[in-house]
Amino acid sequence: MSVTAAKGFTAAGIAAGIKDNGNPDLALVVNNGPRQAAAGVFTSNRVKAAPVVWSEQVLKGGTASAVVLNSGGANACTGPLGFQDTHATAEKVAEVLDGHSAGEVAVASTGLIGIRLPMDKLLAGVEQAAAELSEHGGEKAAIAIKTTDSVHKTAVAQGDGWTVGGMAKGAGMLAPGLATMLVVLTTDADVPSAGLDTALRAATRTTFDRVDSDGCMSTNDTVLLLASGASGVVPEQDAFAEAVRTVCDDLARQLIGDAEGASKDIRIEVVNAASEDDAVEVGRSIARNNLLKCAIHGEDPNWGRVLSAIGTTSAAFEPDQLNVAINDVWVCKNGSVGEDRDLVDMRYREVRITADLAAGAESAVIWANDLTADYVHENSAYSS
């Protein structure tokens, strides 16, 4: 259902020849209105790809009438010429779509850093995609933005007379702030850009910003939310925000489930923290500990590595009051040996780590992956 689940949107996904292997690599999503409100959240990496710089400007106006996305090249670290390429892409979209302006066309790119895009193929692809725009094109668009993703990712939530749908790509370089992801969400609810922005920021803060496959922050992360108003329904902000969060959570979980080379999805819940910030800091520290990630891969409930990760943070806690459960077995109590580690069953893909800081009442959940030889293989051969 993807980005065309909501009324007022058309989409297409085609093979423009940007990827050498001939797979689909260009997606176009068009908001046919009547409203064209939009909001966006972007990578916090200071080295931003050209399309991120461009789209941040577009979204400042609170309006986006279309989004063009390509895989096969990130257009990052490509200098002023790379930025011109992004600009030319937006101009081309405006040209082939009647009544659109380039300043309202968001651009997103994903793939290798440091190479220019083949603009002849890309611009011809925009024409082809425009010709294939359809109310049923959401699935094809989701397929066209895949890079090392093994499956395309879509999600939908239904409101009372309105819908939020979306697509995502991302399989590596996943880290908070945001993960290496392109996400486009659409809704036919009648929500102004300020309402979209509030809902989107709240949703990404507890979903995409809390998945961490490998601690590596991307240059291209982009999450867009477009509203057509085509349902004619003005939703309650809370209900709308919850629907956006549901779709983001679903897509974020799909990203972790498809992370490069991973054999385990690790749900890290930090409880009894003095503050939510403390809980997030501790969760991320655990999520990024390579030794722990290897242990989880080996189905080894190595709680000592959890404690050593917690110990590197500035969160409020006393070392001799820490408790850790792995798959609900409290293998560490009061900073020392707890229940028998042989009771921990780690055969399944999902592994749950609970870290109890015994310092307050706040909590947070971070999703991560294990570290595997397959991850090393995929990422040591990616650009060669």
Q: Which residue is it, tokens 């990130």? A: 74
Applying the rule CB under 8 A, the residues between 250 and 279 that interact with a second copy are: none
198 is in an annotated binding site: no
Q: Cα(351)–Cα(345) distance, rounded to whole angstroms? A: 9
Counting Cα atoms < 13 Å in the Cβ hemisphere of 4 gives 18
281 is in an annotated binding site: no
Whether residue 326 contacts residue 251, with contact meaning beta carbons closer than 8 Å, is answered with no
Q: Which is nearer to a second copy, 21 or 46 (CB)?
A: 46
Q: Which of 62, 114, 192, 360 binds a second copy (CB under 8 A)?
A: 114
Q: Which of 10, 89, 148, 289 binds a second copy (CB under 8 A)?
A: 289
DSSP 3-state of 158? strand
Lookup: tokens for 54: 């461009």
**316 belongs to the binding site for a second copy (CB under 8 A):** no
CB of 226 to a second copy, least distance (A): 27
Run of H or E residues at 126: helix 119-131
Window of 42-50, 95-103, 129-137, 246-254 that interacts with a second copy by CB under 8 A? 42-50
Whether residue 125 contacts residue 14, with contact meaning beta carbons closer than 8 Å, is answered with yes
The distance from CA 41 to its chain's CA centroid, rounded to whole angstroms, is 10
Q: Which is nearer to a second copy, 250 or 299 (CB)?
A: 299
**337 belongs to the binding site for a second copy (CB under 8 A):** yes
Going through 8-138 in order, the beta strands assigned E by DSSP cover 9-14, 26-31, 37-42, 66-70, 105-109
Which of 180, 187, 219, 354 is the catalytic position?
Answer: 180
Run of H or E residues at 279: helix 276-287
Lookup: tokens for 199: 């809902």
323 is in an annotated binding site: no
**169 belongs to the binding site for a second copy (CB under 8 A):** no
**290 belongs to the binding site for a second copy (CB under 8 A):** yes
71 is in an annotated binding site: no
Q: Which is nearer to a second copy, 240 or 375 (CB)?
A: 375
**57 belongs to the binding site for a second copy (CB under 8 A):** no
Applying the rule CB under 8 A, the residues between 72 and 111 that interact with a second copy are: 74, 76-79, 82
CB of 101 to a second copy, least distance (A): 27
Q: Cα(75)–Cα(91) distance, rounded to whole angstroms? A: 17
302 is in an annotated binding site: no
Q: Cα(40)–Cα(204) distance, rounded to whole angstroms? A: 10
**332 belongs to the binding site for a second copy (CB under 8 A):** yes
Give me the 214-253 binding string for a second copy, x by CB under 8 A, dash otherwise.
xxxxxx----------------------------------
384 is in an annotated binding site: yes
Catalytic, 4? Answer no
Q: Which is nearer to a second copy, 142 or 173 (CB)?
A: 173
Q: Cα(384)–Cα(377) distance, rounded to whole angstroms? A: 12
Which of these, 169, 349, 175, lies nearest to 262 by C-alpha position? 349
One-letter amino acid for residue 146 of the chain: K
The CB density around residue 108, as the number of other CB atoms within 10 Å, is 32
Q: Which residue is it, tokens 């080894």? A: 300
Q: Which is nearer to a second copy, 112 or 119 (CB)?
A: 112
CB of 225 to a second copy, least distance (A): 24
**303 belongs to the binding site for a second copy (CB under 8 A):** yes
Q: Which is nearer to a second copy, 246 or 321 (CB)?
A: 321
CB of 181 to a second copy, least distance (A): 14
DSSP 288-353: T-HHHHHHHHTT---HHHHHHHHTTS--S--GGG-EEEETTEEEEETTEE-S-GGG----SSEEEE
* Known binding-site residue numbers for substrate: 147, 169, 180, 260, 379, 384
Chain residues in the site for a second copy (CB under 8 A): 44-48, 74, 76-79, 82, 112-116, 172-173, 177, 214-219, 288-291, 294-295, 297-300, 302-305, 307-313, 317, 319-320, 322, 332, 334-337, 371-373, 375-384
Please give the positions annotated as active site: 180
